[in-house]
Structure 1
């Protein structure tokens, strides 16, 4: 057992679909010390790495004016199987810094074990999303984090489903719909999707084709700038009379999900609702800002009370652990070495010695993190 641990230790942080892969990685790392195995593997194939998951951008296909699907060839050790609805971490080096974000997979696992796809909507304030949609070139090597997330359909499937989506919230649900059709599974689905116009609706042709060809899939497209207005959850009884009997998956803007969750809680049906958030719901009582020190990296940053510690570290080029970026998965948890931080969702203050989530915390005066 000790020999196995010794062998795997240099690659212990990399998830592999087969445990024996990390033993091989670890032995390579031991054999090539003091040089990293990547120094040799990269010369053979840039997707081979003993210490991290990698991918290569093969194509970027426009979906709408401000969104695109990025097809990625995965490298050594990336899991071939994942659950439709899960997300993947993407790391891209720009101007000498690594930028990390999570995106829902729009491909489905187990069909092509060497490729995945994400569909990204460019956010005017989102540096990485804009680059992925408009600037990334085929052949670019990126870093990957293994698929994660609890927003997926269960087995066995419920007999009836309600999907509530808006904007880019369609992406994880699109993966579910594709998987259902691929496996010829046809539960009774009502899907209410909101988008500004038909031209701005991601996957609109595929969704409408699915509606026409699959009798158990009922698409209700709500075009908010074309006379339809935003979908009002208060009208759910009229729109879907049997919604109480359906399991619901909802994904979209924070305000929409807050309203949906409140509606289900009032109906005492919260356990039937599954939500996926692309951003944290921040309170109005964030920290006053201040100085964060990253001790191991010997870097500091002065940030305002709306910037997370995760964002601050990434801006400095520090490789920060992260997963969902919304305070759910616990991947970003680190001990607070000194000072104070504030939880952006609850407003609660944390102090030295406590474990904090960097993706939902900001500095409150000053703090130190051992990263």
Structure 2
């Protein structure tokens, strides 16, 4: 071997040994994050670039993701975000309101502060730009096929506009960039009043720009709640349109029943922000997270996922509504109850969904 190669190899070995010593007991990843908090190979992270008020109760979080993020989400999908408050990470899932492949390397979620929502209120009214958050990759199937149907209907209530906004913005961008025809689209959007309607100005501009985009504004303070029996009046051809609906659970339940009655369930796509449950008579009990792990006493209304998070257990989750199965774990022993159906499970090693299951007696999960 030439002398220059020997010297170079020796130098590289010494450099590796020095690097190893320098990074012990910390890993190189720990030092990368000291330089830049977004440089982590162990978890997805993001930095809140800005918090943009949309209404008095809603704001858009503009987030710059770090290493490992792929800007290829499908419009209509959601992400998980973890925010540290008082030394503890709180996780929730929110729909993306931005388009994929954003030119400035950011993504956006739009959140409405709810009276009962501790985290949503913090994100809208208390989160500071520059905050480092944890991220979970995009998920969800509330998306349009490619190519989209020629005739579309969006039925939206309140914060249900957020995934639809990502879809509409993407269609708008494609039309402007590639001169693609915008599908014949109707958006029926309900909010309490004009001040409470997110993206109102942007949607009105879109309606002026595209003759085949119909924007139906409905304010429940003055117009009342949109009911299925009114659909014939506002969208006479709704039966011929592929429909995407997102909003409060009673609204979605009512329109689901309408489409079922007309045999059109294949045309209806639903996105729920809250879990539809049956009345639970589960007794609760002691839940043990892993054999020999922490044990907590829970009631019959607290999900196993919520109980684990309160106990400081690192619980995996995605949608928190029983859709994505990210939270599935084996049941080691005991009995649990599914909040959606009321069905009870007590088979050892059966996988259960912790986000929609409660204790129906003492139980142990395999983690």
2:365 to 359, 362, 369: 369
User: What residue is the counterpart of 1:307 in the other structure?
Assistant: 302
Preserved contact between residue 96 and residue 163 of structure 2 (Cα < 8 Å): yes
Distance 2:186 2:349 in 1: 48
Aligned: 1:86 with 2:102:
no
Per the TM alignment, residue 204 of structure 1 is displaced from its structure 2 partner at its CA by 1.2
**CA shift at 1:114, angstroms?**
2.1
The structure that has the greater radius of gyration is 2
Aligned to 1:215: 211
Is 1:294 paired with 2:289? yes
Q: Decide whether aligned partners of structure 1 residues 333 and 95 sit closer, same or farther in structure 2, where only a CA change above 3 A counts.
A: same
Aligned twin of 2:50: 59
2:314 maps to which of 315, 319, 332: 319
1:149 and 2:144 correspond: no
Which digits, 9 at most, give the CA deviation of each residue in 1:153-188, with x for residues without a partner?
Answer: 110110000000000000000111100100104101
Task: Measure how far apart 1:242 and its partner are.
Answer: 1.0
Partner of 1:12: none
Greater shift after overlay, 257-266 or 99-108? Answer: 257-266
In 1, the alpha carbon distance for the partners of 2:129 and 2:312 equals: 24
2:223 is the counterpart of 1:228: yes
Compute the displacement of 1:240 (Å).
1.2
- Trace 1:155-304 onto structure 2 (pairs within 5 A): 155-184=146-175, 185-225=181-221, 227-295=222-290, 298-304=293-299
Q: Deviations over 1:121-165 (max 9, x none)?
A: 111221211110011111111000111110011101100000000
1:261 positional shift: 1.1
For each residue in 1:289-327, what CA deviation from the matched residue of structure 2 results, as whole angstroms up to 9, or x when unmatched?
222221268323222222211111222232211111111
Equivalent-residue separation in structure 1 for 2:134 and 2:62 (angstroms): 14
Paired with 2:291 and 2:156, the residues of 1 have a C-alpha distance of: 42
CA distance in 2, matches of 1:141, 1:174: 25
Rounded Cα–Cα distance in structure 2 between residues aligned with 1:296 and 1:110: 44
Residues matched between the structures, number? 342
1:22 is matched with which residue?
Answer: none
**Residue segments in structure 1 that go unaligned for 5+ positions in a row:** 1-27
Question: What is the rounded CA distance, in whole Å, between the counterparts of 2:68 and 2:310 in structure 1?
Answer: 28
In the other structure, the counterpart of 2:340 is: 345
Q: Deviations over 1:9-61 (max 9, x none)?
A: xxxxxxxxxxxxxxxxxxx99x9675333311112211011111000011001
Q: Which residue of 110, 129, 132 maps to 1:138?
A: 129
8 A contact 1:81–1:113 mirrored in 2: no
Q: Which structure 2 segments of 5+ residues have no match?
A: 1-18, 176-180
Distance 1:315 1:112 in 2: 39
- For residues 297 and 130 of structure 1, do their structure 2 counterparts lie closer, same or farther at Cα, with a shift above 3 Å needed? farther
Aligned to 2:96: 105
